[in-house]
Amino acid sequence: MDAVEAGARSFTDIVRVTGLTRTTAHRLIRSLEQHGYVFHVGGLGYALGPRLLGLATTAMRELPLRELAHPALERLARTTGESAQLFVRDGDRRICVDAVASEHELRTIVDVGAVLPLTQGSAGKVLLAWGPTAEAADADRLAQQLATTRRRGWADSFGERAPGVASVSAPVFGPGDAILAAISVSGPASRIAPLRAKAYAPAVIQAAREVESALRG
């Protein structure tokens, strides 16, 4: 992708700049094109795609939030012993803008920049509970979950996004009580079991309040 960051390049130019073989370059470009990271511009060659540009825009927009929230994420990961993440909404999906990994050998890892569905996982429920709705396969069930999330002030999930993974999330509010982000802990369901998820909620909520305080300055 570095080869096209300054503008569209022909396939021949990409091969020359990267030093890749034509076969390897073709395979990589095809994969990037399928995922929306590059696209072909007729007569010009390949350019950065809309998905990558969208991620870059979101990252730049959320950079202050990420910087201010990071200390709270580190404390949350240390307090709970689980991985901690910060998610923001981007249309009908959520993006991880910061993460701190657990020190356990068995842990969940969510990469910064990961794009995940809103309708799966506790962070998605939080972003939906205080934000615009989204289409879901089981709308009635989701509506009940969002009502529970608003009543409790936090959400949990078990094996929704990936088998064996559980999480607990809370909202981060900004001016006018508009939701800005969701802060989460995630880990193996063997540690964050349904009956134990409630024990994680106070630490997650406290981390969210710390982020809000940092945002207020």
Q: Over the chain, what HEC string results?
A: CHHHCCCCECHHHHHHHHCCCHHHHHHHHHHHHHCCCEEEECCCEEEECHHHHHHHHHHHHHHHHHHHHHHHHHHHHHHHCCEEEEEEEECCEEEEEEEECCCCCCCCCCCCCCEEECCCCHHHHHHHHCCCCCCCCCHHHHHHHHHHHHHHCCEEEECCCCCCEEEEEEEEECHHHCEEEEEEEEEECCCCCCCCHHHHHHHHHHHHHHHHHHHHC
Domain parsing of the chain, residue ranges:
2-48, 54-216
pLDDT digits (tens, 9 = 90+) for 97-137: 999 999 998 999 899 989 999 989 999 999 999 888 777 66
Fold observed for domain 2-48: Arc Repressor Mutant, subunit A (1.10.10)
pLDDT digits (tens, 9 = 90+) for 188-210: 998 988 777 889 999 999 999 99
CATH code of 54-216, in short, is: 3.30.450.40
pLDDT digits (tens, 9 = 90+) for 142-196: 889 999 999 999 999 998 888 899 999 999 988 767 888 999 999 999 898 877 7
The confidence score (pLDDT) of residue 87 equals 95
The confidence score (pLDDT) of residue 51 equals 63
